[in-house]
């Protein structure tokens, strides 16, 4: 099994594998090109997003600066708006539902380094996917950790650190992020 296959399967893998190193260099080059485009170069931005992500959703907007590790593990299921300075460590899948809005300075981190020091010293890591439902609003400076699912219609308050799943149609805030109220439909 290749290191890339191990990564995608959520198993321990070596991120310094030549294929994964090249994949990250390719993604970072595309991010650099994307971030350098003028705001009025909308067509070029969409083409680069499709090149980087594969599925960038219908007319999705990612404001610069945007950074990711691989790109191919990020999937938009419709229109998504991401404000400035987002970081996607997409060693595992990051799926974002339609009509989701993400504030500035948000981080989506799927990578996990082992607690066991010997494995960590060897440079091994693993990853867990992040799933964001549709119609979600994520405030500025939110951090979403590996393995988290956020349900449809949820609102995550600015500055939150999401360490566990958040159900649909709730407002959740804090560090760690906790539900504070249900959103009446």
Structure confidence by residue, pLDDT tens digits, 148-170: 999 999 999 999 999 999 999 99
Q: Which helix (H) or strand (E) holds 100?
A: strand 100-102
pLDDT at 80 (0 to 100): 97
Chain segment 97-153, per-residue pLDDT in tens: 999 999 999 999 999 999 989 888 999 999 999 999 999 999 999 999 999 999 999
> pTM, whole model, 2 decimals?
0.95
CA dist 37 and 75 (Å) reads 22
Q: Domains in the chain, start-ordered, CATH in brackets?
A: 3-182 (2.160.10.10)
On average, the pLDDT of the chain sits at 96
pLDDT (average), residues 12-19: 96
In eight-state DSSP terms, residue 125 is B
Geometric angle at alpha carbon 105, from 101 and 108, rounded to 5°: 75
Could you list the active site residues? Answer: 113
- Please give the average per-residue pLDDT across 12-28, as a whole number: 97
Percentage of residues in the chain having pLDDT higher than 90: 92
Q: What's the CA angle centered on 49, arms 137 and 9, to 5 degrees?
A: 75
Residue 177: Cβ within 10 Å count? 23
């Amino acid at each position: 099994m290749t290191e890339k296959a191990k990564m995608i399967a959520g198993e321990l893998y070596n991120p310094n594998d030549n294929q994964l190193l090249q994949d990250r260099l390719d993604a970072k080059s595309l991010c650099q090109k994307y971030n350098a485009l003028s705001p009025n170069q909308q067509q070029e931005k969409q083409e680069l997003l499709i090149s980087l992500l594969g599925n960038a959703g219908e007319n999705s907007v990612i404001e610069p600066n945007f950074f990711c590790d691989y790109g191919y593990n990020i999937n938009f299921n419709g229109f998504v708006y991401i404000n400035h300075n987002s970081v996607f460590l997409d060693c595992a899948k990051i799926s974002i539902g339609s009509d989701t809005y993400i504030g500035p300075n948000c981080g989506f981190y799927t990578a996990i380094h082992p607690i066991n020091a010997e494995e960590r010293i060897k440079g091994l890591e693993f990853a867990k996917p992040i799933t964001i439902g549709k119609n979600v609003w994520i405030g500025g400076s939110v951090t979403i950790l590996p393995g988290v699912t956020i349900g449809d219609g949820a609102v995550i308050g600015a500055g939150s650190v999401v360490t566990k799943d958040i159900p649909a149609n709730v407002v959740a805030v804090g560090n760690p992020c906790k539900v504070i109220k249900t959103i009446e439909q």
